[in-house]
Chain A
Amino acid sequence: MTGRTPPKKKPFSWRSQAFRGLLYQIIAIVAIGLAIWFLAHNTATNMRVRGIQSGFDFLSSAAGFDIGESLYPFDSGEPYWRAFLVGLTNTLRVAVVGIILTTMLGTLIGVGRFSRNALVRGVCTTYIELFRNIPILLQLLMWYLLFTELLPESTAPIVAGPFFLSKGGLNFPIPVWALGHWWAAAGLLGGVLAAWIYRGRAVRHFERTGQPRSLFWVPVAIVLACGFLGWLLGGAPTVLDSPRQGEFAIEHGGALTPEFLSVLLGLTMYTAAFVAEVVRGGIQSVARGQGEAASALGLSQGQTMRLVMLPQALRVIIPPMTNQYLNLTKNSSLAVAIGYPDVVSIANTAINQTGRAVECISVIMLVYLSTSLATSILMNWYNARAAIKER
C-alpha cells in the first residue's frame, strides 16, 4: 500500500503557524517602534520650536521655594534634587505610617464583621459601605477642612493632658534625646536577638519533646525587659519636652501639621474599608470544618485562630493586601490637592517653575514604580513564606 507522503513543510508559508506568529510579532514591534518614534520626534520638535529646555541638569540648580514640612532642614537655596528627596521622604513617611495604621484598623473592622454582637456587625458594615463609596480625594478635602476650619485657633487649643489639638495641628511631648536612649535602643536590639535565640531553642525543644513553650509572651517579655534594662543602665532619662501654650502658637514638643494629619487620616480610613473586606474574604475562605476540627482536638479559641485559621487565611489575604498597600502609597499622591509637600506636590511646583514637565513627570513615575516594585518584592517574599509547602 502506497502511503501518501505528507506535504512538504515550507518554512515561509502563510500556513505555518510559527511563520505567522513571527510575522505578527514583527508587525507589532514595528508599530510600537513607529508610535514611540512619532511621539518622541513630535516632542523634540515642539520643544525646539517653543524653546523649552530639556535635560536633568536643573536638578542641581537652586530650588528657590520653601517646603512646609520636612524630616530634615531644607531651605530655598538648596538644589532641586534635595527638594525631591524631601518630597520622597514625606511620601514614604505618610505611606509607611498609613500602612501600619490601616492594617490594624482594617483587620479590626474585618474581624468585627464576624462578631456575635449585631451592633458591632452593623457598625462595621456601615463604616465599610460609607468610606469606600466616597472618593478618596473628597475625603481628604473634608478632613483638611475639618482640621483647618472647624478646630479652634492655636491660641485656644483643645487640651488633653500633654496633647494640644488646634488649627496648627497636633502637638505632643517628645523625650529629650539623651545618651540613655541609645542605651535603651541597644537594649531593645539585644532583646530582639535574645528573643530570636530563645525562639529557636523553644522550637527545637518542641520538636524533640512535643512540649510547647510560649512563642509570643515570653519573647515579648524578653525584648521589653532588655529595653528597660538598657534604659536603666543609661541613667533612666525621663526629661520630656512638652508643648506649651505660647503667645501666638504652641511651642516646644513634637508637632504634626494639619496637612499630614488629613492625608494620614484620609488614607487610613479609606483604605481600612478595603482592607476590612480583604480580611473578611480571607477568613471566609477557610473551610468551616477547619475550625470545628480544631475545637474537636481541644484547641482553645485563641489557639484555633492562631494555629489553624490565620495561617490558612493569610494565604488568601496577602496578595490583595499587597494591592491595598500599593493603592495607599499611590493615593498618597493626592496630597497635592491639600498642599502636603509629597513628591507629586514638589514635582508640580518644579514644573511650574522650570517648565520641565517631561523630566518632573518621569521623576514621579520613577519614584512610584520603584516603590511599587519594592513593596511587591517584599510582599512576594512574605507570600512565599506563607504559601502552602508543596512538593
Chain B
Amino acid sequence: MAAQTFQPIPPRPAPVNTEGPLAWIRANLFGNWMTSVGTVVLGALLLWIVPQLLSWALFRAAWAPNADACRLDGVGACWGVVAEKYRLITFGRYPFEEQWRPLVATVLMVGLLVASCARPFWKPWLALVWVAVLGTFFTIMFGGVLGLSRVETDRWGGLPLTILLASLSMAMAFPIALVVALGRRSNLPAIRSACTVYVELIRGVPLISVLFMASFMFPLFMPQGFSIDVLIRVLVGITLFAAAYMAEVIRGGLQAIPKGQIEAAATLGLSYWQTQRKIVLPQALAIVVPGIMNGFISTFKDTSLVTIVSLYELTGAMGLALNSDADWRPFKIEGYLFIASIYFIFCFSMSRYSHWVEKQVNRSKLR
C-alpha cells in the first residue's frame, strides 16, 4: 500500500478588501456600471465648475480696498468691497467712533448664546445671567450712562441688531409659547379655543404681514400721545410670530408624554400645576430642545425681513452700504456673499448643535 502523501488543497484567494480608501472608492464610486457612469459624469461636471469657481473667488480675486483695481480686466471676485465696507455692513449706521460698543455687546451676546448651549450651564441661574447680559447689552448699545454717549435705536444696525432681534424675541417667545401650548391642551373650552385661534391665525399669515402690522398699525393701537420705538414694535411682532410656532413644537412634546404619567401624578394627589411642573414639563421640554433650536434658526434667518420695514440689520446694512456708493455698487454680489457666509456660519453651527442635542436626548432610547 502506497503511502499517501499529503496533498494540500489550493488556498482560497484572499478576501476582497473591505476597508481602507481603495475599497471605499470601489464600493462608493464604482459599485456597478450605473454608479460608475454617474461618478464620471458628475466628476467631470465638478472638475469643470469647481476650478472656475475657485479661480474667480480666490486666485483672480482683488483683495485690496481699491475700486479701480476691481475694474481691471481678468479680475475675479472683488473682496475689496468687504475690506472697504465691513464696518458699515457689520455695524450699520452706528456712530463710527463708538463702534467698539456694538462689538463688545455682540461678543457678550454670542458668548451667552454659546454658553447656553453647553450642558454645565443648564442651571436655573442661567435665566438670571440672560437678564444680566441683556441689560448690559442695552446699556452698552443705548448709552446715556457711565459717560457713554446716547445712541438712539434708529442708528443701531448690522450684526448686533440681527443677534439682538433673534435672541431676544426667542427668549420672550418661550414663556408665551409655554402658556399657549398648555392652553391648547387644556380641558377648558374657552381657553383652548383662544389659544388655537391665536396659533392658527399667526401660522396662517406670512411674517411680513405681521411686520407690516407692527410698523403701520401698532402706532394706531397705542393710546393718544404714547408712542413706542420701532425696534420694540418689530421685536413684539417677531416674538408673537415665533411664539405661535414654538407653541406647536412644545405641544408636540407635551403630546409625547404618555397619559399614564399624568394619571399617576393625579393618583399621588398632585394638582394641575404641580403635575405640569414636576412631571410633564421636564420630560416634554427635554424632547423639544432640537425643535426649539430649529425655531431659533428660522427666527435668525427671518430677522432679515425687518429690512423691509426699514430697520438696518445685516441685510439692510449691506444695502445701505452699497446702494448709495456708485464706486462699489457693481460689486454687490461679493457683499451679498459675505453676509450670506455670516448667516451660514451661524445657522450651520446651530443646526449641528441641534443634531448633537437630539443625539443626547435620544441616548436613553439607544441600546
Least CB separation from B162: chain A residue: A135
B188 pairs with A137, CB closer than 8 A: no
A334 pairs with B220, CB closer than 8 A: no
Asked whether A76 is an interface residue with its Cβ less than 8 Å from the other chain, the reply is no
Surface stretch bound by B, among A142-150, A201-209, A245-253, A379-387:
A142-150
Within 8 A of B (CB), among A72-113: none
B223 pairs with A372, CB closer than 8 A: no
B308 pairs with A337, CB closer than 8 A: yes
A134 pairs with B220, CB closer than 8 A: no
Interface residues on A, range: 35 or more
Q: Which of A28, A141, A364 contacts B194 (CB 8 A)?
A: A28
Asked whether A331 is an interface residue with its Cβ less than 8 Å from the other chain, the reply is yes
Query: 0/1 per residue, B25-47, Cβ < 8 Å to A?
Result: 00011011001001100110010
Cα separation A317 to B223 with both chains bound (whole Å) = 48
Within 8 A of A (CB), among B283-328: 297, 301-302, 304-305, 307-308, 315
Looking at chain A's contact residues, the main secondary structure is helix
Asked whether A29 is an interface residue with its Cβ less than 8 Å from the other chain, the reply is yes
Least CB separation from B339: chain A residue: A138
Cα separation A142 to B201 with both chains bound (whole Å) = 31
Interface residues on B, range: 35 or more
Within 8 A of A (CB), among B167-215: 187-191, 194, 201, 203-209, 212-213
Within 8 A of B (CB), among A22-65: 24-25, 28-29, 32, 39, 42-43, 45-47, 49, 52
B143 neighbours in A (Cβ, 8 Å): none
Asked whether B122 is an interface residue with its Cβ less than 8 Å from the other chain, the reply is no
State the Cβ distance, A108 to closest chain B Cβ, in Å: 13
Cα separation A235 to B340 with both chains bound (whole Å) = 54
Asked whether A267 is an interface residue with its Cβ less than 8 Å from the other chain, the reply is no
Cα separation A119 to B46 with both chains bound (whole Å) = 10
State the Cβ distance, A274 to closest chain B Cβ, in Å: 10
Cα separation A21 to B272 with both chains bound (whole Å) = 12
Asked whether A256 is an interface residue with its Cβ less than 8 Å from the other chain, the reply is no
State the Cβ distance, B67 to closest chain A Cβ, in Å: 16
Are A145 and B208 CB-contacts (below 8 A) given A134-B340, A135-B343? no
Asked whether A373 is an interface residue with its Cβ less than 8 Å from the other chain, the reply is yes
B301 pairs with A135, CB closer than 8 A: yes
Are A117 and B301 CB-contacts (below 8 A) given A134-B343, A142-B333, A364-B209? no
Asked whether B9 is an interface residue with its Cβ less than 8 Å from the other chain, the reply is no
Query: 0/1 per residue, B92-134, Cβ < 8 Å to A?
Result: 0000000000000000000000000000000000000000000
Cα separation A372 to B209 with both chains bound (whole Å) = 14
Asked whether A333 is an interface residue with its Cβ less than 8 Å from the other chain, the reply is yes
Asked whether B221 is an interface residue with its Cβ less than 8 Å from the other chain, the reply is yes
A43 neighbours in B (Cβ, 8 Å): 217, 220-221
Q: Which of B29, B201, B304 contacts A117 (CB 8 A)?
A: B29
Cα separation A28 to B180 with both chains bound (whole Å) = 13
B190 pairs with A42, CB closer than 8 A: no
Asked whether A195 is an interface residue with its Cβ less than 8 Å from the other chain, the reply is no
Least CB separation from B248: chain A residue: A323
Asked whether B59 is an interface residue with its Cβ less than 8 Å from the other chain, the reply is no
Are A334 and B208 CB-contacts (below 8 A) given A39-B221, A137-B304? yes
Within 8 A of B (CB), among A314-368: 330-331, 333-334, 336-337, 344, 347-348, 351, 357-358, 361, 364-365, 368
Asked whether A215 is an interface residue with its Cβ less than 8 Å from the other chain, the reply is no
Asked whether B332 is an interface residue with its Cβ less than 8 Å from the other chain, the reply is yes
Cα separation A344 to B210 with both chains bound (whole Å) = 12
16 extra A-B contacts, CB within 8 A, seeds A117-B42, A134-B340, A137-B304: A25-B191, A28-B191, A28-B194, A116-B32, A117-B35, A117-B38, A129-B351, A130-B344, A134-B347, A137-B315, A145-B336, A150-B333, A330-B206, A334-B208, A361-B213, A365-B205
What are some 29 contacts across the A-B interface (CB < 8 A)?
Answer: A21-B187, A25-B188, A42-B220, A42-B222, A46-B219, A46-B222, A116-B35, A117-B42, A119-B29, A120-B38, A123-B42, A132-B347, A133-B301, A135-B301, A135-B315, A136-B301, A138-B315, A138-B343, A333-B209, A334-B305, A337-B308, A344-B206, A344-B212, A351-B216, A358-B220, A361-B212, A364-B212, A365-B204, A372-B204
Q: Which A residues have a C-beta under 8 Å from some C-beta of B?
A: 21, 24-25, 28-29, 32, 39, 42-43, 45-47, 49, 52, 115-120, 123, 129-130, 132-138, 141-142, 145-146, 149-150, 330-331, 333-334, 336-337, 344, 347-348, 351, 357-358, 361, 364-365, 368-369, 372-373
Question: What 7 A-B pairs come out closest when comparing CB atoms?
Answer: A357-B216, A118-B28, A133-B347, A25-B190, A330-B206, A135-B301, A333-B206
